Amino acid sequence: MCAGGKNLEKQKTMKAIPFFEAIAVLIGTIVGAGFLGIPYVVAQVGFPIGVLLILGIGMVMLVQYLMIAEMALRTEGRHQLAGYIQLYLGSRWKNFAHAILLAEAYGALLAYVVGSGRVLGALFGTSPWLMSYVFLVCGAIVLYFGLQLIEKVDLLFTLLMGAVVTLICFVSWSQIRFENFLSLRLEGLLPAYGVILFSFGGAAAIPEAREVLFGHEKQFPRAITIAILFPIFIYSIFTAAVLGVTGAATTEVATIGLGAKLGRAMVASGNILALITISTAFMGLSLSLKETFWYDLKLPKREAWLLTILVPLILFSFGLHNFIQILFIVGVLFGGLLGIVLVFASLKAERAGKRKPEFVVPYKRIFGAVLVIVFTAGIFYGLIDFIR
Query: Residue 263 contacts by C-beta under 8 Å, 6 or more apart in sequence?
Result: none
Sorted by where each begins, the domain ranges of the chain are 33-387
Name the more confident of 3 and 145: 145
pLDDT above 60 for 148: no
Q: Return the pLDDT at 69.
A: 95
Tell me which of 65-69, 290-294, 308-312 is least confident: 290-294
Q: Return the pLDDT at 88.
A: 94
pLDDT above 50 for 9: no
Euclidean distance between CA atoms 246 and 181, whole angstroms: 11
How does pLDDT run across 71-113, given as a tens digit for each residue?
999 998 888 888 899 899 988 888 888 889 899 889 999 999 9
Average pLDDT over residues 119-145: 91
Q: Return the pLDDT at 11.
A: 46
Instruction: Give the fold, CATH level 3, of 33-387.
Output: Amino acid/polyamine transporter I (1.20.1740)
Q: Return the pLDDT at 262.
A: 82
Euclidean distance between CA atoms 105 and 36, whole angstroms: 18
Average pLDDT over residues 175-180: 89
pLDDT above 80 for 14: no
**Euclidean distance between the first and final Cα of the chain, in Å?**
73
Average pLDDT, the chain: 86
pLDDT above 80 for 23: yes
Euclidean distance between CA atoms 185 and 190, whole angstroms: 11
Confidence of residue 155 (pLDDT cuts 50, 70, 90): low
Q: Return the pLDDT at 379.
A: 92
Residue 152, helix vs strand vs coil: helix
Cα Rg of the chain (Å, integer): 21
Euclidean distance between CA atoms 296 and 233, whole angstroms: 37
Q: Is 8 exposed, middle or buried (0-12, 13-18, 19+ CB in 10 A)?
A: exposed
Contact, 86 vs 93, CB < 8 A?
Answer: yes
Confidence of residue 146 (pLDDT cuts 50, 70, 90): low
Cα dist from 44 to 47, 134, 183, whole Å: 9, 31, 9
Euclidean distance between CA atoms 219 and 143, whole angstroms: 34
Residue 97 C-alpha from the chain's centroid: 18
Q: Return the pLDDT at 15.
A: 53
pLDDT above 70 for 372: yes
Contact, 73 vs 219, CB < 8 A?
Answer: no
Q: Return the pLDDT at 147.
A: 53
- Whole-number percent of the chain with pLDDT over 70: 92
pLDDT above 70 for 3: no
How does pLDDT run across 190-246, given as a tens digit for each residue?
899 999 999 998 888 898 889 889 888 899 999 999 999 999 999 999 999 999 999
pLDDT above 60 for 7: no
- Of 225, 224, 166, 232, residue with least CA distance to 200: 232
Contact, 195 vs 38, CB < 8 A?
Answer: yes
Q: Return the pLDDT at 6.
A: 44
pLDDT above 70 for 2: no
pTM of structure: 0.86
How does pLDDT run across 194-203, given as a tens digit for each residue?
999 999 988 8
Q: Return the pLDDT at 324.
A: 85
pLDDT above 80 for 152: no
Q: Return the pLDDT at 13.
A: 46
Average pLDDT over residues 57-72: 96
